[in-house]
A and B are shown apart, each in its own frame.
Chain A
């Protein structure tokens, strides 16, 4: 069946089966491979995108359920001139990523947190990331990056 939606402000459409997941449509159908699949039980958050402004795990949703929706993925998160957004830049500045596999999901989750809660506490950041697993960083620098992106003071990376 045919499905149509807006992805990163661009109108897209494609043929899918009823069982095609949104993440599969984005990755295989649209070539937007920044959204990752890290599990098959909706536990890891590597597939996190925004659907109509809400943070969604795109592995928990069928592509057809996103019919007509506005979808945002990591590929649409940079500034218009291609430079990193404040949040993306904070991830680089505070070394909030290592292998990068969880990163798109982390950025999407963090963007959604900051949209609702512009100055979250450390505990609020950690609670919000409950559905996103990172195996590399120990979360320390992800938390720092998100706090820094919200304009709060955090100690510099690597006290030299």
Chain B
């Protein structure tokens, strides 16, 4: 067996280039003769745009051309990839999302004009000379105010600012209400899931290029899914057939969801390059990123949990307002609905659930998926309300959870919100979490904190998520306008080396290391004989990219299927050469042997024969050794886990510090434990960021108050502790070939409620009980809550 097969913490091969400055990110690419674009963005949130005077700007040095909405007649809007049908069977309201403001400005940061010049400084200078004539309109920012009858409309052509009013499961509503009527106890909680900005450290970049000799366009972009961009931009926006459009996403410096979506700047650079017959490059500044990258979260929720006299959960209902921003970003409508409502059962047997979501247009940047996408919002409210119920009933929060868990002998388990969990063992992760966090020893640590004049609290959260997105036929029924399979081509070279061309995209996940471990295991060769190619539509099969913790579960499965085809064919070749029957050929440790004999061939002998087919079954088999597979999952995967957080609060300042953090996850089988742990630690840090620090805020005029790292508090090294991660509880996925579940989002899903539960626990133990505090729990908020 290879020493670096499945389950080994193989060091990452991609690190070498990143550690020596040889990474090739999009902004590192400069094409000969390229021009630069600077986008003039609106600094008001809502206005009628009467005119744009470019007369002074267009004659400034180096200016090649200034584009406004008028130049995009005949060009489509940015499409939305998901159609939601509301409670009454009506389709959602779907306004046009133009590349540039068309007669109306709808959020701060919306593109109003674009200056293309020989240098970036020239483009910026000229943009300052553009004069806008606009009349400001009252901005619509607060979601509940936005749906009032007299609210100004973000889109005049729509009937209101309500995108959809979604009920799930609508048929259960009456039964849910009836269960509440007879409940022994009802816990009610209103909360806000704060608006966030994903903030991958690499800002977005787009470079458009056009080749006149074959009338083809190339876009270099910071994307998690180059094929999706090619399809959306080619087919819906610019009308370029896919065979004339190549999209390349080279090294990408983090995504976290915000680089899934198709953005106006990508379409602009591709369009302008063709118009000007020059490469056109755009590099986002961080300030631009804050006002143009899709934001995340931003839900306002009321959740109620009904319990019987024995503390069994009997029903759950929620009312959520979800911010869509000014336009519908690529997957925006799916986030508060199918990625959120379907997870409201959590880890529990709650028999009756009803979820209502009102998606609302406001004069803010579009909101879409951010690490976890819908599942953090579901988990946060559920794990908060369960904790609150435990407090109200005077029972241990861990035990209330345990009592209501779906038991391990109940899988597969169909929840009342339309999904079927294949496997899980929630008590196992709970027990592991309690053990690793030394839950039992908390009292000692509490006493120490008290002696130091500090408050101390412990909080836990249990999560479930749906990953490995997604069965195409199912999501099709739910309104997805795309399939969600993944692809892989496995090309075996004559001398035995392998190249895998995958539709998955790595932007930090380490696929170049972990994917070869799988193939190495299957064939019995070393992983360094396997190379991974990704991120270029010209040399990878049509794939859907990386998000929703889908790479190994879906992309990895496609690679396994293609490799199985390779092995089957290679065995036939070996059988021919060894003059045996196919069925008798075994492949082990990179050797083909005939069962029960000492006859064998090396991997390289067979691969060579495939390309030099002198002694080869040419009548039955084509030469060559290359196979492609598309894998469409039959279900989601359901990772779960227990997160336990311990905080100290300084009573003088209200500052919360995270003292200990434990994550006990069940990801099913694991390919590279080192990478998995890194994913969890990174996700937890983002969750701690959401809970303690990060907040994207607008004032009532629609000004973005947090538009730089001066105002948007990113977690820094001193804000997060060492994070204990365990993944020894493994209930493998039953429906994909690797038994894997995916681990990319768990950390960001499970951690915010654990942190907030810990903070509230500390205040409760100190005799300053507060029912709830909204995130981020800044020192000012905590201090005010303790001293109200």
Contacts and interface: CB of A to CB of B under 8 A. Distances in A.
Interface string B718-729: 101011000000
A132 B717 contact: yes
B722 A140 contact: yes
A11 B679 CA distance: 41
A115 interface: no
Nearest to B685: A138
Contacts of A93: 11
A99 B675 contact: no
If over half of A's interface residues share one DSSP class (helix, strand or loop), that class is named, otherwise mixed; here it is loop
Given A33-B28, A102-B201, A129 B20 contact: no
A130 B716 contact: yes
Contacts of B613: none
A43 B356 CA distance: 40
Contact of B709 (A28, A39, A107, A140): A39
Contacts of A40: 285-287, 708
B293 interface: no
Find the residue from B283, B674, B723 having the highest chain A CB count within 10 A: B674
Contacts of A95: 11-12, 674-675, 677-678
B674 A129 contact: no
Nearest to A42: B709
B717 A130 contact: yes
A141 B28 CA distance: 26
Given A135-B254, A160-B9, A97 B15 contact: yes
A65 to B, nearest CB: 18
Interface string A122-136: 110111011011111
Interface in A45-78: 46, 73-75, 77-78
Interface in A75-118: 75, 77-78, 84, 88, 91-93, 95, 97-104, 107
Nearest to B507: A99
A132 B715 CA distance: 10
Contacts of B507: 99
B674 A137 contact: no
B684 A138 contact: yes
Interface in B14-32: 14-25, 27-28, 30
Contacts of B254: 98-99, 101, 135-136
B268 interface: no
Contact of B20 (A39, A41, A88): A88
B678 A133 contact: no
Contacts of A43: 708-710
Interface residues of A, number: 59
Nearest to A24: B120
Contacts of A138: 681-686, 715, 720, 723, 747
Given A132-B717, A140-B722, A97 B200 contact: no
B634 to A, nearest CB: 30
Find the residue from B28, B674, B676, B716 having the highest chain A CB count within 10 A: B716
B681 A140 contact: yes
B201 A92 contact: no
Contacts of B683: 138
Contact of B717 (A73, A104, A129): A129
Nearest to A94: B674
A39 B21 contact: no
A87 to B, nearest CB: 9
Given A17-B121, A95-B678, A160-B9, A101 B20 contact: no
Contacts of B715: 138
A97 B252 contact: no
B728 to A, nearest CB: 9
A123 B718 CA distance: 8
B555 interface: no
B673 A139 contact: no
B661 to A, nearest CB: 9
A31 to B, nearest CB: 9
B510 interface: yes
Contacts of B285: 39-40
B638 to A, nearest CB: 23
Given A75-B21, A101-B202, 5 more contacts: A36-B202, A75-B22, A92-B16, A100-B253, A137-B685
9 contacts: A39-B286, A40-B708, A44-B709, A74-B21, A100-B14, A135-B682, A136-B682, A140-B722, A141-B678
Question: Sorted from nearest, which 4 A-B pairs have the closest CB atoms?
Answer: A34-B21, A100-B18, A101-B253, A138-B685
